[in-house]
Chains A and B, each alone.
Chain A
């Protein structure tokens, strides 16, 4: 591979790692700060991706025998001519909204109950979403998948340089989400979330409506995951239910947060790059070492190593020493 090829590979890698970092941030809001055990990230991943894709993709041409009925076609609709592709942001917003509403419903039903019920419900919703898109062909072409998903600002640069542009887009969104999450969890709101993570009963005895805060955190994290799903859809530009298997859409993200440092937003992003680097890097190893099963095994080894050597993850949670009164 020549130098350009390596750069292009790294850009493609960075796009995916940054998209995974968005999910790791969302999971950090759920698990790292609030202690909500979401093991169905794949569900929000798929909902976000399909929502934005279906809203922006052209409706299928009957002559092509495509088996889905709805394409929102926002990419061809002129909402407001600002000279940029407004549909992209509307797709992101729609993905975020759908995930937020689903999180509101699941959270409202399960967050009053013991923690285990949220885990079961999230796992259930992930499988339901995946099986829905697999079996209901009219929705998104079933296992054959949804393709010709539009790309953001496609005409702006030549196709061979498009990835550079999209990397910038993804990094801008990631940075904005990072700042939003960082702000929120360092505020008194975040303090209540961490208190809930530490001891729900004590948080309740400190006058906090634990259910309300848990619901807010669950929705916030799910909204971030929805945005991640939409970014993913417009990068890969092809979606099939197979994309959202629990291994690559839930387990890997948990690994990223554990390795990088649960409760630390920089750690979540770092973990996404480290784990995605190991996952994609190991495919170049010779023989059996590039086998997917072996590579998952390596990620398992990495998690165990991190837990043994640095239980809080590479970065770990910072102790918050607030001294506003002195400054």
Chain B
């Protein structure tokens, strides 16, 4: 029996006024994959993330996560199903410490009900200790331990990217959508980041879909690679195939190039 895809899109369309950002997009991601999503600027990659994560509803089409319709769900609902995303421009809680940014994430937390802090504070404290040590471990994992008590707003651009990645790990997700995790992260940290992604994939069985413009990172890390242009998937497959696909070259470099080649 063929394995079921963890994520499946069927003819997904998203219009913004008269602009069609995502056009009849269909794709499947298998469990455990580290898929790369590439394409020229304006191809609709981030919009696709917004649709899948529930930041906005699609105009039409179906999105299935583990066989279940998720189009039209809100972000916190897809989160509860185990689908977590990051943002291209990091969205950290600026006036909260790095540690707090992470301790926020695990769900469900007993202490998130307002009455628990009045009636059963000791139980909340116990859970807090557990969540805090989990957060410290994740900070260790992304090499941000020394900044645990710093306001997240004071981090550098690259550190904020790592914090975004750390946030997804706190969620204990089944699937993570990373929007340009490498942008602004220096080479050394970038290597650690890709190692971290691979380890999370192997050890925890997390499925990744990664939007990235750094081709070296994508080609080294991702398989399969999905190529989008003008809102639709134009190619899909292992890195070596995709690199030679004439449609991909055309999308990136223009038709004159592929015509000459």
What is the minimal beta-carbon distance from B149 to any residue of chain A, in angstroms? 5
- Asked if B221 lies at the interface with its beta carbon under 8 angstroms from chain A, I say no
A202 lies within 8 A of B149 (CB): no
B125 lies within 8 A of A205 (CB): no
- Asked if A192 lies at the interface with its beta carbon under 8 angstroms from chain B, I say yes
A321 lies within 8 A of B129 (CB): no
Minimum CB distance partner of B54 in chain A: A204
Given contacts A188-B124, A194-B96, A208-B76, contact A201 B55 (CB under 8 A): yes
A180 to B117, CA, bound (A): 9
A317 to B136, CA, bound (A): 24
A284 to B99, CA, bound (A): 50
Minimum CB distance partner of B131 in chain A: A188
What is the minimal beta-carbon distance from B48 to any residue of chain A, in angstroms? 16
Question: Which of B93, B107, B125 sits near A198, CB closer than 8 Å?
Answer: B93
A188 lies within 8 A of B112 (CB): yes
Minimum CB distance partner of A192 in chain B: B112
A161 to B107, CA, bound (A): 53
Given contacts A191-B104, A206-B104, A319-B97, contact A186 B117 (CB under 8 A): yes
From A198, A210, A323, residue with most partner B Cβ within 10 Å: A198
- Asked if B144 lies at the interface with its beta carbon under 8 angstroms from chain A, I say no
A118 to B100, CA, bound (A): 28
A322 lies within 8 A of B128 (CB): yes
What is the minimal beta-carbon distance from A154 to any residue of chain B, in angstroms? 32
What are the residues of chain A within 8 A of B107 when measuring CB–CB?
207-208
A325 to B101, CA, bound (A): 17
What are the residues of chain B within 8 A of A317 when measuring CB–CB?
95
What are the residues of chain B within 8 A of A191 when measuring CB–CB?
96, 100, 103-104
A206 to B76, CA, bound (A): 7
- Asked if B146 lies at the interface with its beta carbon under 8 angstroms from chain A, I say no
Question: Which of A189, A210, A220, A319 sits near B76, CB closer than 8 Å?
Answer: A210
Q: Which of A208-225 contact B (CB under 8 A)?
A: 208-210, 213, 216, 220
What is the minimal beta-carbon distance from A319 to any residue of chain B, in angstroms? 6
A251 to B99, CA, bound (A): 36
What are the residues of chain A within 8 A of B32 when measuring CB–CB?
none
What is the minimal beta-carbon distance from A195 to any residue of chain B, in angstroms? 5
- Asked if B141 lies at the interface with its beta carbon under 8 angstroms from chain A, I say no
- Asked if A168 lies at the interface with its beta carbon under 8 angstroms from chain B, I say no
Minimum CB distance partner of B125 in chain A: A324
B94 lies within 8 A of A198 (CB): yes
Question: Which of A192, A202, A204, A322 sits near B99, CB closer than 8 Å?
Answer: A322
How many A-B residue pairs lie within 8 Å, measured between CB atoms? 124
Q: Which of B93-144 contact A (CB under 8 A)?
A: 93-97, 99-101, 103-105, 107, 109-114, 116-118, 121, 124-125, 127-129, 132-133, 136
- Asked if B80 lies at the interface with its beta carbon under 8 angstroms from chain A, I say yes
What are the residues of chain B within 8 A of A210 when measuring CB–CB?
76
What are the residues of chain B within 8 A of A189 when measuring CB–CB?
111-114, 116-117
A207 lies within 8 A of B91 (CB): no
What are the residues of chain B within 8 A of A109 when measuring CB–CB?
none
A205 lies within 8 A of B117 (CB): no
Given contacts A323-B132, A325-B136, contact A187 B94 (CB under 8 A): no
Minimum CB distance partner of A202 in chain B: B91
A322 to B117, CA, bound (A): 15
What are the residues of chain B within 8 A of A323 when measuring CB–CB?
132
A202 to B167, CA, bound (A): 10
- Asked if A320 lies at the interface with its beta carbon under 8 angstroms from chain B, I say yes
Question: Which of B84, B128, B129, B136 sits near A205, CB closer than 8 Å?
Answer: B84
Please report B residues at the A interface, Cβ cutoff 8 Å. 53, 55, 74-76, 79-80, 84-87, 91-97, 99-101, 103-105, 107, 109-114, 116-118, 121, 124-125, 127-129, 132-133, 136, 149, 151, 167, 171
- 19 A-B residue contacts at CB 8 Å? A180-B118, A188-B112, A188-B128, A189-B112, A195-B96, A195-B101, A198-B96, A199-B93, A202-B87, A204-B75, A205-B84, A205-B91, A206-B105, A207-B105, A319-B149, A320-B100, A324-B125, A324-B128, A324-B129
When A and B form their complex, which 9 residue pairs have the shortest distance between CB atoms, in order from nearest? A188-B111, A187-B117, A207-B79, A198-B93, A202-B91, A204-B75, A324-B129, A207-B107, A325-B132
Please report A residues at the B interface, Cβ cutoff 8 Å. 180, 183-184, 186-192, 194-195, 198-199, 201-210, 213, 216, 220, 263, 317, 319-325
